[in-house]
Amino acid sequence: MKTDLFYPAPEGLPVPVNPPRGDDKIYRLVSGTDWRQVLQLGSDRLVRAGALWLYGFLDEAHRLTQQDSSSEGSYWHALVHRSEGDFSNALYWFGRAGAHPVQARLRARVREAMKVRNSEAWRTLVESPRWEPARLVELCERSTRAEPAQTAVLREVVRMEYNLLMEYVLAQARS
């Protein structure tokens, strides 16, 4: 077992807002594995935090992200709050993360996806010259109200975001 448990994200994951908690077996695998040894990492805190978030273990992921003041820790922290439906707190943590390198790649992937999936939600995400996390947070918030959720767009973009951030975190932890 290498990263196939959590990277790339398995089909159907992540769930953008209010994800169901994964089962106990997944929790034990993610939290009980020494990812430093398995993947030859300097630290596995953010890998573990991301994998826990992916499977809906938001409280556990939150505790880990609070222990990391890096830009990546703040980014994961923002994802946790966005998933909890705490959208203003998510925006705060995205602000703490700053203009992360993942965001330019995410914007490029969303623009590429728009070539075959052109909709208002896709356009909203890339109408600015740089990625603005607040636009995705707003779409997530709208999905929790009676407004059209555009769930397929949210799932696809959040999946792209997760995979890019996990890829980045894995690369940083190996260096």
CA distances for 31 relative to 5, 26, 59, 72, angstroms: 12, 8, 13, 19
Q: What average pLDDT score do residues 5-9 get?
A: 97
What does the pLDDT read at residue 61?
Answer: 98
What is the pTM (predicted TM-score) of this model?
0.96
Beta strands in the chain (DSSP E): none
Task: Residue 41: name the closest of 174, 175, 135 by CA.
Answer: 174
Q: How confident is the model at residue 119 (pLDDT cuts 50, 70, 90)?
A: confident
pLDDT digits (tens, 9 = 90+) for 74-85: 999 999 999 999
**Tally of residues, the chain:** 175
pLDDT digits (tens, 9 = 90+) for 148-161: 657 888 999 999 99
- With tokens 């978030």, the residue in question is 53
